[in-house]
Structure 1
Amino acid sequence: MAKRKRQLSETKIEKMIKEGRGQGTGKDYLPWLKIQDVPSEGRATRGVGWTTGRRHELLSDIERDYCYLLDYADEVSDIREQFPLLPLEETLMIAEKIGVNHPRDPKTGVPIVMSTDFLITYGDKDCARTVKPFSEMEDERTIAKFEIERVYWETRHINWGIIIDHDLPDVLIRNIEWVHKEYHNEDVSDLGVFTMRNLEQMLAARLNDGEAISKACLACDERLGLEVGTSLALFRHFVARKKWSLNMNERIVPTLPAKEFKIATPEYRLEAKGG
């Protein structure tokens, strides 16, 4: 199979703009860059976001981890990754003004459209964040590109900052990752309100008594005649939906009791936020 051509040309930039790349909000937003457009750093990810309800184009492990945190934060109302710094002429002018070379395609020499990893909406305010490994923070070329980015957002009165991997709380992120894909769980509608309510009450009672998560879930599967693993998946669903809370800053270990387990919403409803 032929490799996808990633070289950039002025025609390709125009085509991307016409496609609506970097435009829209929420579920309708189209990232400027997609996974197939660039070599990824680490394991590229297309996870369906809780906040946006669409698949995110995340080009590195650190982007994925930061997106988990944003998804989990109640105050975040929109996440736009790979946000383009357009028009291109503006970043070219900024680069010339501050005396640094503007990024260019290494093969064609065409100036590239720079992008910020995340444009985030908190309430009614936007902020821009670039996420990078600490190992890149002493690279002079990287710092020069950061300065173009900083000035671009400063002219728009939008707060911009850098997030490094050392800033990210690994335990919290791994816990969010563990429950993340169960936010949308097909069993919720398939089982119906009556069975869901029984399962929730039965499982919560066992967890409140300090029973290990996996043991409590298996007992509920057997009691309700469910396929093994159903209750554990719904445990993750309840935590993801924040119907149930526990200490997310301690690693969730299924063979142990749920730390600081609490019921946040007493009765399950199928019309829970997010569908």
Structure 2
Amino acid sequence: MAKRKRQLTEAKIERMIKEGRGQGIGKDYLPWLTIQDVPSEGRATRGVGWTTGRRHQLLSDIERDYFYLLDYCDDVSDIREQFPLLPLEETQMIAEKIGVEHPKDPKTGIPIVMTTDFLITYQDKTLARTVKPSAELENERTIAKFEIERIYWDSRHVDWGIITDSDLPDALIRNIEWVHKEFHNEDVPALGIFTIRNLQQMLSARLHNGEVISRACLACDEQLGLDAGTSLALFRHFIARKIWSVDMTERIMPTLPAKDFSEKHSDIRLEAKGG
């Protein structure tokens, strides 16, 4: 199979703009870059984003991890990744003014459209965040590109900042990752509200009594005649929907009891946030 050509040309930039890259909000937003556009460790998240109702284009593990935190936060109402710093001429002028070379395509020499990893709508504010491993902050070229980015957002009165791996709480992120794909659980409408409520009552009673999560879930599967694993998936669904609460700052282990388990909501919420 032929590899996709990733070289940048002026015609390609114009085509990307006409395609609507970097435009739209919420579910309709189109990232400037996708995992097919650049050589990366990129991966789409498992399932649709809770906040936007769309799949996100995340180009590294650290982007994915920061995305999980944003998606979990109730005060975040929109997440736009790979956001372009347009017009291109503006970042070129900034680079010239501060005396640094503007990023360009290594093969064609064409100036590239710079991007900010995340443009976030948080409460009533817009935040721009770049995420990078802390080791990269020692690279002078990286710092020079950050300065272009900082000036660009400062001129728009947008709060810009850098997030590194040391800023990311690993246990919380891994827990969000574990429940993330169960936010949209097909068993909820398939089983019906009566069965779901019975399962909630039975499972919550066992968890309140300190029973190990996996054992409690398997017992509910057997009592209700469900396929093995159904109750565990729904446990993750209830956590993802914040119907139930556990200590998210420590890794959730199915072989252990649910720490600080509580029921936050009595009603089943079927709608996705922002959907």
The verdict on a shared fold, with TM-score over 0.5 as the criterion, is yes
Secondary structure at the residue paired with 1:117? strand
Between 1 and 2, higher relative CO (CA 8 Å, sep ≥ 6) is seen in 2
Q: Which residue of structure 1 aligns with residue 238 of structure 2?
A: 238
Moved more, 23-32 or 261-270: 261-270
Tell me the residue number matched to 1:268: 268
Give the aligned CA root-mean-square deviation in angstroms: 1.1
Displacement of 1:108 after TM fit? 0.4
Q: Structure 1 unaligned segments of length 5 or more: list them.
A: none
In structure 2, what is the Cα distance between the partners aligned to 1:153 and 1:185? 39
Letter in 1 for 2:179: V
Q: Assess if the C-alpha contact under 8 Å between 2:51 and 2:273 holds in 1.
A: no
Structure 2 CA distance for aligned equivalents of residues 176 and 59 of structure 1: 19
Distance across 2 between alignment mates of 1:198 and 1:38: 48
* Cα distance per residue 1:169-215 (max 9 Å; x no partner): 00000000000000000000000000001001110010001000000
Question: Could you say which residue in structure 2 is the equivalent of 1:44?
Answer: 43
Question: How far apart are the structure 1 equivalents of 2:93 and 2:87?
Answer: 10
Are positions 1:98 and 2:112 aligned together?
Answer: no
Partner of 2:106, secondary structure, is coil
Q: Partner amino acid for 1:17? A: I
**Residue identity in the other structure for 1:88:** L
Rounded Cα–Cα distance in structure 2 between residues aligned with 1:107 and 1:14: 18
| Alignment partner, residue 217 of structure 2 | 217
- The residue correspondences of 1:107-146 to structure 2 (distance < 5 A) are 107-146=107-146
1:46 Cα deviation (Å)?
3.8
Q: Partners in 1 of 2:134 and 2:238 — Cα distance?
A: 35
Partner of 2:13: 13
CA contact (8 A) 2:84 2:113 kept: yes
1:198 aligns to 2:198 (yes or no): yes
Q: Partner amino acid for 2:65? A: D
Is residue 193–residue 269 contact of structure 1 (8 Å, CA) maintained in 2?
no
What is the alpha-carbon distance in structure 2 between the residues aligned to residue 120 and residue 189 of structure 1? 32
CA–CA separation in structure 2 for the residues paired with 1:256 and 1:271: 30
Between the aligned residues of both structures, percent identity stands at 77
Alignment partner, residue 176 of structure 1: 176
CA distances 1:221-273 after superposition (whole Å, capped 9, x unpaired): 00000000000000000000000001000110001000000100023254575
What TM-score comes out, normalization by structure 1 length?
0.97
Q: Which runs of 5+ in 2 are unaligned?
A: none
Helix, strand or coil: the match of 2:69? helix
Contact kept? 1:21, 1:32, Cα under 8 Å: yes
Contact 2:80–2:119 (Cα < 8 Å) also in 1: yes
Specify the SS of the correspondent of 1:130.
strand
Partner AA of 1:208 in structure 2: H
